Amino acid sequence: MGLLSDPSRRKVLTGLLTRLNTPICIVCYLAGIVWFMGLAFEPFTLRTYMSENAMGSTMVEERFSSGERALSLAKEFDAHKRKAGGMPVEWLVKAMQSRGLEVFTQSFSRKLPFPDENKERYMVRGTNVYGILRAPRAPRTEALVITAPCSPGNTNNQAVALLLALAQYFRNQIYWAKDIIFLVNEHDLIGTQAWLEGYHHTNITEYISGSLRGRAGSIQAALSLELSSDVITSLDLVLEGLNGQLPNLDLANLFYAFCQKLGVLCTIQGKLQRNDWDTAEGYTHAAQTMMLMVLKQACGRSWGDHGLFLRYHIEAASVRGINSFRHYKTDATTIGRLLEGMVRKLNNLLERLHQSYFFYLLPSLSRFVSIGYYMPAFGLLAVILLLRALDLWVHLGAPALAAVDGVTEAEQPSSPGVLTVLTPVVISHLTGVALYLLPVHLQEMAVEHFPVSETEAVVLTAIAIYTAGLALPHNTQRLLSGEGTEQGWKVLKLTALLYLAVLLGCTALINFSLGFILAVTLVPITASITPALYALVMVLLSPAFTILYCVFIYQELIEAPVSVSEGWMLFLSVISQGILDHALYGSLVYPLLALFIYPCWLMFWNILFWN
């Protein structure tokens, strides 16, 4: 404290930071990138461990043996689904009732703001079917959920059949201390969202749905089962939820523990764990797995039905059966025993999962990176904005030297008018409001005047407003104050740097991956921007191009590279999906980018054309 309270020492420190500002910023940026990439190196990570005492041991004897019965149920379910042309509601109700469950249905409908061309739907109507197994040894104040989405075609038939087989097996057991809800939802996430809103008596996304006549206790945890093939070679754990939320790490540890016990091949991000961490190939594999998790978390969408449960503080994960490794095969009985073991362990909980981490990254299922390890990487990038702001503040307060009658005198620099800085700030944010509101509201007008579909109209309108915003804000200060002065753009840059630092900091606290990706692209260009900088460099590091880069990187990481034209189509699909996710489920990524990140970037864009 003495260093900061002593005026002379404070002046020396300030002079040192301003004199070495650029080298320090470069070192911080490189250190942040190296720190982040080093997180995938196994000696820098922690081994996963069970924090919850009630789940610390896997000493549970799994006795489920109805795998063959589940396969026959899958064929029967498929036949009834084909006959009904969709989810066979009546057959499911009878099947659950015959297994001793209290069965209820929920009808729902939702008109999308514009057609979802990926799944070819606009007006969605469906029915959720769920059965409740009441706990025989408890006051029925808590519940667990097992859900299996009813997908079109023959996808996920095995999951629904396995859910019914588990319900029949669980009905004959007497050790349940929590109600167990078996949910078969239609139209994937839309059905799940409608059921959750009905269960918790909320309506935040304008769904039209019937009230739930049957309810259990407070939901403690949920498991979603998806089996994409008749032949399952491995089980993939999906954790990323809405707005980058993650379940408690103990849920992932529980899945991994039972996979190890039962000898089930398990993956995360579709990638197997490798033991050769000390080789270049082993490190690259771990880095790719971690980067996939970062990209999925940053997009803010729910990567499975489980992701919507997290909003209600319900720890949930999706177990996805995949057919990727030909030398292995997992039968339905083994999958059922794994789910039985997990549900029995969750049944033992006396309170919600809270002992382990909620903020983490996973290079593999056996290693994790906690928030205390990865946050410094973001901090090293964010501190660059504060250092540049400090440098500008010192220069703005320093008196300018001028020669009067051959004598050099210090002159106090003239401060720019408030409107000189306020005008570009206001116009930039109005452009962001237009980007947020107009694409959906102007789709009908665009369809009438141009030969495009509703979805294309929304996406192209968003791109048009984004592009038009590049022409609107720059040099707006001249409308009120004449020519821009050097003091004016420096004050605007100081304001924008502090604003961006706050934005990225708040984003990283909620969704580290999104905040870090934005910081990697925005920090270097915003910290070094002056009116002499090339506009092309600024455009290539804009938020839109950041999304485009992420699309190509993601395709490379999943080993499905695309051409430039295919990448562009995926980019357009990502934009439409982001707007839909915001309207349907409440994803915050699109409004964050449109209302805050893009206007902030426009403030720096305004500096480029100040003179």
DSSP calls for 479-545: HHHSSPPHHHHHHHHHHHHHHHHHHHHHHHHH-HHHHHHHHHHHHHHHHH--TTS-HHHHHHTSHHH
Question: At residue 207, what are phi and psi to the nearest 5 degrees?
Answer: -80, 145
602, 431 contact by CB (below 8 A): yes
> How far apart (Å, rounded) are the C-alpha atoms in residues 172 and 477?
75
Reported as a single tens digit per residue, the pLDDT across 212-225 is: 888 898 999 999 99
Residue 277 has pLDDT above 90, yes or no: no
- For residues 383-404, average pLDDT: 76
Instruction: Say which DSSP state 542 is in.
Output: S
**pLDDT score for 358:** 93
- Rounded to 10 degrees, what is the CA torsion of 565, 242, 35, 32? 70
- For residues 466-477, average pLDDT: 74
Residue 482 has pLDDT above 50, yes or no: no
**pLDDT score for 533:** 78
194, 183 contact by CB (below 8 A): no
320: amino acid identity, one letter: R
User: HEC states along 342-373?
Assistant: HHHHHHCCCCCCCCCCCCEEEEECCEEEEHHH
Q: Cα–Cα distances in Å, from 39 out to 47, 267, 524?
A: 13, 19, 22
**pLDDT score for 399:** 61
Average pLDDT, the chain: 87
Reported as a single tens digit per residue, the pLDDT across 323-348 is: 877 677 888 999 999 999 999 999 98
Residue 17 has pLDDT above 90, yes or no: no
**pLDDT score for 226:** 93
Name the strand (E) or helix (H) holding 306.
helix 306-309
Reported as a single tens digit per residue, the pLDDT across 401-435 is: 454 555 555 555 556 667 777 888 899 999 999 99
**pLDDT score for 608:** 84
pTM, to two decimals: 0.91
SS3 call for 331:
coil
Between 40-54, 352-366, 510-524, the lowest mean confidence (pLDDT) is in 40-54
Reported as a single tens digit per residue, the pLDDT across 498-552 is: 999 999 999 999 999 999 999 999 999 999 988 877 888 999 999 999 999 999 9
Reported as a single tens digit per residue, the pLDDT across 19-46 is: 788 899 999 999 999 999 999 998 888 8
Residue 160 has pLDDT above 60, yes or no: yes
Residue 475 has pLDDT above 70, yes or no: no
